Amino acid sequence: MTEAAEPTVLTRTEGGVGHLTLNRPRAINALDLGMIETLSATLDRWERDTEADLVLLDGAGDRGLCAGGDVRGLAEQIRGGQPELTAHFFRAEYALNARIAEYPKPFVALADGITMGGGIGLAGHAAIRVVTERSKLAMPETRIGFTPDVGGTWLLAHAPGRLGEYLGLTGAVMDAADAVYAGFADHLVPSENLDALRDAFRTRADPSSPTELVLLFDETPGPSTLEAARAWIDDAFSADTVGEIIARLRARPEPAASTTADTLEGLAPTGLAVTLAAIRRARGLPDLRAALAQEYGLVMWFATTQPDLVEGIRAQLIDKDRSPRWQPATLAELDPAVIDAAFAFEPALPLWAED
């Protein structure tokens, strides 16, 4: 049977475990609307189902849990002038992110391999977040002229020091040790032990203590490169503006600081400026739902008023020429009023309204 003929989300219950598997391995389990709707409907059903007292999320294949959302489809919707479809996707996705965070039963996410963008929205808000030595976590939205969403700004805002600004602006990839240190994961379990962990959940004697089961397989992460880089990251990324961050990076002696400045100078000025403000504003928000609401306004502003998002998707994922033509092209050309306009934008369809 081909992948196309199989369900894109596998759902089953066994031994008190409701098991969800994202099943698009060729696409590293990238999320589409149908998958989001299946996940949401299944969680609704399992909340009332006595056969599922714990939910386990993982991904098919060995490449990753989830590479993100269907941004190619997003670009097509924007080009086609269909903002209502874009709004429908994000509303469904963000409702699922909040549902996972608020789920009344233990929710365990196995973020093995690539877990980025929309994958963080699934795994990052779970009650128990497991990574492995193969894990690669990131919020890479600025690479396509966009801004972190799916509750990513909430996680970034609560990372130690100025790591949130660093990770959000650069889209840097975290390994397992970095993810645990930055607050994107809770436990490191070697990938060779994941099957044993799944079996332990199904055969456990005490269904109320899944964390204790994870600890049986947990290993202490090695040193975090992010922790080791805190001195220059905190110094540079505490600056008030993206331009000042770059200037501080250029003044640092560490080679990694200079490389980071090069990275920022190649990204969309609008996306960077809005992302910096979004992470800092998220620090003052009361909860994840408030952060999701802020993100929803921003992503709809990008999708309906800004050319950089479609251009970034074209350059990085469609034509793959890696030569986006940002508008404006430089930070010096960016009107500071654009930031206020982004946060003042009101989508035509509110986030939490009923369909």
Positions annotated as catalytic residues are 69, 118, 141, 149
Q: At what angle do helices 288-305 and 337-344 cross, to 10 degrees?
A: 110
- Tally of CB atoms within 10 A around 288: 21
The number of C-alpha atoms within 13 Å of 166 and in the hemisphere containing its C-beta is: 29
**Contact (Cβ atoms closer than 8 angstroms) between residue 8 and residue 32:** yes
Burial 60-90 (b: 16+ CB within 10 A, else e): bbebbbbbbbbbebbbebbeeeebebbbebb
Going by C-alpha positions, the residue among 232, 266, 226, 273 that lies closest to residue 250 is: 232
First to last CA, the chain: 36
Q: Does an H or E element contain 310, and which? A: helix 308-313
Backbone CA torsion sign across 305, 310, 311, 316: positive
d(CA 269, CA 308): 9
**Which residues contact residue 74 at a Cβ distance below 8 angstroms, ignoring those fewer than 6 apart?**
86, 89, 303, 309, 313
Strand partners, 128: 108
**Contact (Cβ atoms closer than 8 angstroms) between residue 147 and residue 278:** yes
**Contact (Cβ atoms closer than 8 angstroms) between residue 31 and residue 65:** no
- Hey, what amino acid is at 245? I
d(CA 12, CA 51): 10
Concatenated DSSP letters for 142-195? GGGT----TTHHHHHHTSSTTHHHHHHHH-PPB-HHHHHHHTS-SEE--GGGHH
Beta strands in 67-122 (DSSP E): 107-111, 114-116
